[in-house]
Amino acid sequence: MILNMDKTMDNLQVFEKNGLYGFLKNGKIFIKPQYDWARKFTEGMARVAKNKKWGFVNEQGELIIPLQYDNVGDFSEILASVKKNTKYGFINKLGEIVIPLQYDWASYFSEDLAVIEKNNKVGFINKKGEEVIPVQYDDAYTFKEGLATVEQNGKWGFIDKQGKIVIPCKYNWTKSFRNGLAVVEKNNKYGYINQQDEIIIPIQYDDIYPFNNDLVKVKKDGKEFYLNKQGEFVKY
C-alpha cells in the first residue's frame, strides 16, 4: 500500500507491507519494508522508527541519523526537532545537536524561528538557540508571512518577529495568515481579518473554509455558500 503520493525529485514514496514500512523509487522497492513507521521525505530526509525509536534516512536509502530518539520532527530550514528523555532540541542533517535538548517541547523552524516550551509557557528561538521572543505565552504557532499567532489569558492575537503585539489578543481562536488573511473566531462565529486587523469577512459564520481562487465557502444557519474577498455573495 502506497501511503503518500507526495514525491521527491527522485520519486520516493512511503509504502506499507505486512505492517512494516519502506520506500518506493519510481514505483520499485528502494528501501525494503523494515520500519515500524515512516514519513515522507522533506529536504532530502525522511523520519523512520523501529522499536519506538526514531531516526532519519537520506534519499540514497542510508540510515544517516541512528534510531535513538523518542520522537523527531521533519527537517525544516535544515534543522529538525528531536526528543530524548522528555527534552527537545534540534539537530542538523549530519545528526549533530546544534541546539541542546533542554525544552519541554519544540516546533519546526519557519521563517528562521521556532516555538519552544518551558514550564508550560512558550516563546521563540532562532537557529543559534537564542531566545529572541521571551517564554511568556500560553501557546503559539510558527511564523507565517511575518506574523505568529499567540495565546495569552485565553485569547489569541498576533506578534511580529521583534515580539511586538501587532494584533491584540482578543480573539477566541485564530489561524495563521495565508495570502494576507487569517481566520478568527469570536463567540463560536468565524470570519477573516487582514494584517491590519481589518475585518474582511464578517465574524458571523458558523463555519468557514480556506480561500480558493479568491472565493471562500462559509456556512450559516445550516446553509453553505460562497463569498468573494469583499464579503459579497457569489453564485457558484
For residues 107 and 133, what is the distance between their CA atoms, to the nearest angstrom?
14
**Residue 153 backbone dihedrals phi, psi, to 5 degrees:** 55, 40
For residues 4 and 165, what is the distance between their CA atoms, to the nearest angstrom?
39
Please give the full DSSP string across 7-70, using - where no structure is assigned: --TT-EEEEEETTEEEEEETTEEEEEEEESEE---BTTEEEEEETTEEEEEETTS-EEEEEEES
pLDDT at position 6, please?
45
pTM, entire model: 0.90
Is 67 inside any structural domain? no
pLDDT tens digits along 57-66: 999 999 999 9
Range of the domain at 33: 1-55
Boundary (domain end) residue, out of 122, 152, 171: 171
What CATH number does the domain containing 182 carry? 2.40.10
State whether 146 and 96 are in the same domain. Answer: yes
Mean of per-residue pLDDT scores for the chain: 94
State whether 134 and 188 are in the same domain. Answer: no
pLDDT at position 7, please?
44
State whether 148 and 187 are in the same domain. Answer: no
Is 69 inside any structural domain? no
pLDDT at position 103, please?
98
Boundary (domain end) residue, out of 171, 203, 219: 171
Give the CA diameter of the chain. 55
Is 68 inside any structural domain? no
State whether 83 and 151 are in the same domain. Answer: yes
State whether 141 and 191 are in the same domain. Answer: no
Is 70 inside any structural domain? no
Is 66 inside any structural domain? no
For residues 182 and 201, what is the distance between their CA atoms, to the nearest angstrom?
10
State whether 182 and 155 are in the same domain. Answer: no
Q: Give the total number of structural domains in the chain.
A: 3
Q: Is 99 helix (H, G, I), strand (E, B) or coil?
A: strand
Task: Give the rounded percent of residues in the chain with a pLDDT score beyond 90.
Answer: 90
Give the pLDDT band (50/70/90) at residue 5.
Answer: very low
- Kind of pairing, strands 173-174 and 37-38? unpaired
Residue 203 has pLDDT above 90, yes or no: yes
Q: Are 125 and 112 in contact (CB under 8 A)?
A: no
pLDDT tens digits along 83-120: 999 999 999 999 999 999 999 999 999 999 999 999 99
pLDDT at position 230, please?
87
State whether 98 and 165 are in the same domain. Answer: yes
pLDDT at position 3, please?
54
Is 63 inside any structural domain? no
State whether 167 and 101 are in the same domain. Answer: yes
Give the pLDDT band (50/70/90) at residue 11.
Answer: confident
Q: How many C-alpha atoms does 201 have within 13 Å on its Cβ side?
A: 30
State whether 163 and 182 are in the same domain. Answer: no
